[in-house]
Amino acid sequence: MSDTYVLVHGAWHTGELMEPVAQHLRARGHVVHCPTLVGNRPGDDRATTGLAEAAQSLIDFLNEHDLKEVRLMGHSYGGMVISHAADQVGHRIRRLVYWNAFVPLDGESLNDLVPPHYVQLFDGIAAANKGAVMLPYPIWREAFINDADAALAERAFGLLNPHPNKTFTDKARLTTPLAALPMGKSYINCQQDTALPHSLPWHPRLSERLGLFRLVECQGSHELCFTDPARLADAIERAGRD
């Protein structure tokens, strides 16, 4: 059965970096879109782009392509964005899929959900770079892509782009708690993901905010899209099915 998936990337990424995963899903007969959010496109103003603008770019994409019955997946920061899309154009969405992603409550920012040392680090980098944040390589290597060899970690790091810190500090504006929304919800948890410390985990701390949800777990790091796109595609399909 062919389903429609929209894969929403995380911070520092683009839609193009989700294409290896999308190719595996397309090979299984699905229709897959990989948009790049405002704030991560070439020439975007990292100083002024906030969460509302990024979310609106996804909403515009869904509307402009008249997408319906969508399995909408968000990775990491992308969870903040798909939460706004679900709140505003929920009639287009059949299931929300969060892949090691933030699940906000109304009035929470991404920075409210991460350890204080990340907030201090990103604020300092942004202040020195006109509002743009780049992930330091040692953090990328050890916490984000710990299941890759050195060559893949370095190659993948070179594909990342500066991210607007304002999307981390802006508060989510949701009219309805995510747990109360009528569409299906799933959470993918990569078990070796240490981008957040396991003492402050993705699951169950954030996943349980979805209310009734399907849990799909697999081996891998926060960057499984680079290290094993086939495994991630399988997890997304299991999370997205009816």
Cα–Cα distance, 54 to 219 (Å, whole number)? 30
Return the pLDDT at 203: 98
The CATH number, out of the four listed (3.40.640.10, 3.40.50.1820, 3.40.50.970, 3.40.50.2020), of the domain defined by the range 4-240: 3.40.50.1820
The whole-number average pLDDT for the span 9-30 is 98
pLDDT tens per residue, range 24-74:
999 999 999 999 999 999 999 999 999 999 999 999 999 999 999 999 999
pLDDT tens per residue, range 197-225:
999 999 999 999 999 999 999 999 999 99
The single residue of 2, 57, 76, 207 carrying the catalytic annotation is: 76
The whole-number average pLDDT for the span 184-196 is 98
DSSP string, 86-111: HHHSGGGEEEEEEES---PPTT--GG
| Residue 76 known to be catalytic | yes
Cα–Cα distance, 126 to 83 (Å, whole number)? 25
pTM of the model: 0.98
pLDDT tens per residue, range 126-151:
999 999 999 999 999 999 999 999 99
* CB contact at 8 A, 23 and 33: no
What's the token pair of residue 177? 């708690």
Domain boundaries, the chain: 4-240
User: Which of these, 7, 27, 20, 5, lies nearest to 159 by C-alpha position?
Assistant: 20
Tokens 């770019």 sit on residue: 57
Return the pLDDT at 1: 80
Return the pLDDT at 111: 98
Q: Is residue 136 exposed (0-12), middle (13-18) or buried (19+ Cβ within 10 Å)?
A: exposed
pLDDT tens per residue, range 80-125:
999 999 999 999 999 999 999 999 999 999 999 999 999 999 999 9
What's the token pair of residue 132? 């743009």
